[in-house]
């Protein structure tokens, strides 16, 4: 008799627990209902498309299997401040562009340069990093600048601003790969005469793997700014810009920057401290 009664209590409490869950819609009971400040994005989870082949902006930590990088920390902090959640999906950069243009992802973070052409199909946040593209050659190369690349084999990345620069402005034999490190490795092996890509990524590669073998040459060919990309018309753009501005102001941007670049950012990215 005593046993039966105990059983009943267990059944009853399970029923009660289930009923509570059903009403509250989220089982973790964080009671976020009603805290919606007039924006549907609050508390929502968005998929962030990224291409993890772009050090130090996004890359896979091979020990932990985790995504790391300046962009990753940046978007996580922005999401925190703006009140939404993010999960990451990795893909090739050109697939990312196509996927975003097709409206498949709300957010794209991939050291993406803001260009007029891309602005036709995507929305961008305010710029968060000033970049540009530069030529990399073996240290003993006779290529001094972009004027010397006609007829030469120059590597780049598919879908990047560097690939289109080469096609539009030079008569180089352009070899564009799905991963930029293929270009870098082929260059180091002597299969290419040069590579054209984003300044910070080229410099990072030279410092990590190419010391004494590879160097940059000539000027920065075009200034580019990176922005976070959004599906056209996304309601996240304003909140993102606000979060970014607050991170610059309170020094959080500078902290993340130092973590990945080992130095302070330029004055315009420094807050008032």
Should residue 217 be labelled a site residue for ligand ARG when binding is judged by CB under 6 A? no
User: Between helices 252-261 and 236-249, what is the axis angle to 10°?
Assistant: 80
Of 41, 40, 20, 39, the closest CA to residue 31 belongs to 20
DSSP-derived secondary structure letter, 115:
-
Report CA Rg, the chain.
24
Among 41, 113, 156, 182, binds ligand ARG (CB under 6 A): 113
By CB under 6 A, is residue 125 in contact with ligand ARG? no
**Residue of 41, 125, 161, 182 interacting with ligand ARG (CB under 6 A):** 161
Please, which residue, 32 or 92, has the CB nearer to ligand ARG? 92
With binding defined as CB under 6 A, does residue 182 bind ligand ARG? no
Closest among 222, 216, 202 to 113, alpha carbons compared: 222
Q: According to CB under 6 A, which one of 41, 46, 49, 53 is a site residue for ligand ARG?
A: 53
Query: Does 221 sit near ligand ARG (CB under 6 A)?
Result: no
Contact call for residue 112 and ligand ARG (CB under 6 A): yes
Helix (H, G, I), strand (E, B) or coil at 161: helix
The single residue listed with the structure tokens 């130090």 is 56
Tell me: does residue 110 bind ligand ARG (CB under 6 A): yes
Q: Is 156 in the site for ligand ARG (CB under 6 A)?
A: no
Which lies closer to ligand ARG via its Cβ, residue 54 or residue 260? 54
51 binding ligand ARG? (CB under 6 A): yes
Check binding of 111 to ligand ARG (CB under 6 A): yes
Output the smallest distance, CB 93 to ligand ARG, in A: 4
CA atoms within 13 A on the CB side of 259: 14
CB 133 within 8 A of CB 162: yes
Report the nearest approach of ligand ARG to the CB of residue 84 (Å).
Answer: 22
Question: Binding string, 234-273, against ligand ARG, x = CB under 6 A?
Answer: ----------------------------------------
> Which of 46, 59, 70, 93 forms a contact with ligand ARG (CB under 6 A)?
93
Query: Do 41 and 84 contact (CB within 8 A), yes or no?
Result: yes
* CA 138 to mean position of chain CA atoms: 28
Bridge partners (DSSP) of residue 176 are 156
Q: How far apart are CA 173 and CA 156, in angstroms?
A: 11
75 near ligand ARG, judged by CB under 6 A: no
In angstroms, the Cα distances linking 144 to 5, 20, 195, 214, 247 are: 88, 71, 13, 13, 40
At its nearest, how many Å lie between ligand ARG and the CB of residue 112?
4
Q: Nearest-CA neighbor of 235 among 46, 32, 25? A: 46
Decide: is 58 part of the binding site for ligand ARG (CB under 6 A): yes
Minimum Å gap between C-beta 60 and ligand ARG is 12
Q: Which residues bind ligand ARG (CB under 6 A)?
A: 51, 53-54, 58, 93, 110-113, 160-161, 198
């Amino acid at each position: 008799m005593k046993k039966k009664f105990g059983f009943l209590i267990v059944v009853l409490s399970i029923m009660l627990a289930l009923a509570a869950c059903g009403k509250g819609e989220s089982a973790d009971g964080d009671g976020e209902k009603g805290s919606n400040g007039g924006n549907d994005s609050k508390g929502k989870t968005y998929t962030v498309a990224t291409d993890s082949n772009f050090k130090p902006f996004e890359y896979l930590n091979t020990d932990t299997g985790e995504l790391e990088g300046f962009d990753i920390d940046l978007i996580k902090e922005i999401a925190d401040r703006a009140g939404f959640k993010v999960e990451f999906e990795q893909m090739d950069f050109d697939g990312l562009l196509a996927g975003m243009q097709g409206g498949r992802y709300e957010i794209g973070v991939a050291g993406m340069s803001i260009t007029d052409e891309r602005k036709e199909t995507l929305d961008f946040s305010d710029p968060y990093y000033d970049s540009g593209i530069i030529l990399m050659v073996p240290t003993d190369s006779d290529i001094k600048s972009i004027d010397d690349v006609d007829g030469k084999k120059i590597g780049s990345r598919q879908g990047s601003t560097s690939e289109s620069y080469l096609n539009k402005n030079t008569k180089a034999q352009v070899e564009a790969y799905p991963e930029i490190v293929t270009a870098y490795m082929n260059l180091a092996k002597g299969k290419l005469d040069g590579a054209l890509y984003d300044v910070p990524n080229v410099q990072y590669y030279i410092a990590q793997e190419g010391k004494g073998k590879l160097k940059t040459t000539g000027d920065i060919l075009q200034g580019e700014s990176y922005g976070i990309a959004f599906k056209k018309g996304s309601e996240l753009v304003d909140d993102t810009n606000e979060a970014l501005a607050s991170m610059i102001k309170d020094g959080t941007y500078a902290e993340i920057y130092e973590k990945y670049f080992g130095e302070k950012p330029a004055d315009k990215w420094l807050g008032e401290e």
